[in-house]
Amino acid sequence: MDWKSKRVRTIIEAALAEDKASEDVTTALTIPPRLRATGTIIAKQSCVVSGLGCIPAFFDAFAKMSTVSPGRFEVVSHPEIFDGVRVKKGQALAVIRHNAAAILSCERVILNLMQRMSGIATITDEYVRAVAKTGVKILDTRKTIPGLRALDKYAVSCGGGVNHRLNLQDGILIKNNHISLGGGLPAALANALKGRKAGQMVQVEVRSQVELDEAIAGGAESILLDNMTPAAVKKAVKQIRKSLPSIPIETSGNMNLKTVRAYALAGVDFISVGALTHSAVAVDLSMRISVDQSTF
């Protein structure tokens, strides 16, 4: 993750602006302006870490927004703790040494982002573990928080998942509404294959035996089996492998941790799980702040 990219900077700056961090009236009225402090981010539950890079990014952005320079800062973490690592309850994720007011004003936005990202990474890790040793890869979807997709998908990668399309330009996926509005599956598939640019793979989502037959006959280059039972997926995989032995096969639809392994054992290559991002529960993190007996 490039935390200095324009896309990420925009997210960071928007979060600070929304919280009016540079106009923190409580901190301004109660905290000596030159007081230094140490903030320690603690995991209050076992989780997979994601988002450590947002900490210096927030302070860099805050310094540009603040009317008074908050001065130098330092963010350190144990060498064994980095994005993608599972930590235990009570472990310290990072230690921040900075102006006390800056820490207080940025505390909430830092925790908000890290809690969400670590929540996504943690649930992704659970799905990856659930299909261990099957060869199946867990994919994310575009079911992300508007504006946060880059960070949501980065968090998925921290949990061991694989990113699907970042946006609608990234690939061709013919779904049910394209089929309904595009004159049926054969017509939509033929038009996509004819009009696509070099290197663009055409994937088709199928929901029935009729659509599966049409996708195979039309030369689909990847097939997504949607909302089928594991038994139906296994049967469909066998049919696809017979006609199109080398194409990627994906399945999706109401996937959960209890059922995902059965789908993996049905022979697919990928399983896409919208819940990784649309239903991830934020992990519980806190920041303990103490005074440093120094000024600058």
Catalytic annotation on 108?
Answer: yes
Map the chain to HEC letters: CCCCCHHHHHHHHHHHHHCCHHHCHHHHHHCCCCEEEEEEEEECCCEECCCCCHHHHHHHHHHHHCCCCCCCCEEECCCCCCCCCEECCCCEEEEEEEEHHHHHHHHHHHHHHHHHHHHHHHHHHHHHHHCCCCCCEEECCCCCCCCCHHHHHHHHHHCCCECCCCCCCCCEEECHHHHHHCCCHHHHHHHHHHHCCCCCCEEEEECCHHHHHHHHHCCCCEEEEECCCHHHHHHHHHHHHHHCCCCCEEEECCCCCCCHHHHHCCCCCEEECCHHHHCCCCCCEEEEEEEEEEEC
Catalytic annotation on 175?
Answer: yes
Catalytic annotation on 143?
Answer: yes
Q: Which of 97, 175, 196, 207 does the annotation list as catalytic?
A: 175
Q: Which of 24, 140, 205, 211 does the annotation list as catalytic?
A: 205
Q: Which of 143, 196, 207, 234 does the annotation list as catalytic?
A: 143
Q: Which of 34, 86, 108, 196 does the annotation list as catalytic?
A: 108
Catalytic annotation on 205?
Answer: yes
Q: Which of 137, 226, 250, 261 does the annotation list as catalytic?
A: 226
Residues belonging to the active site: 108, 143, 175, 205, 226
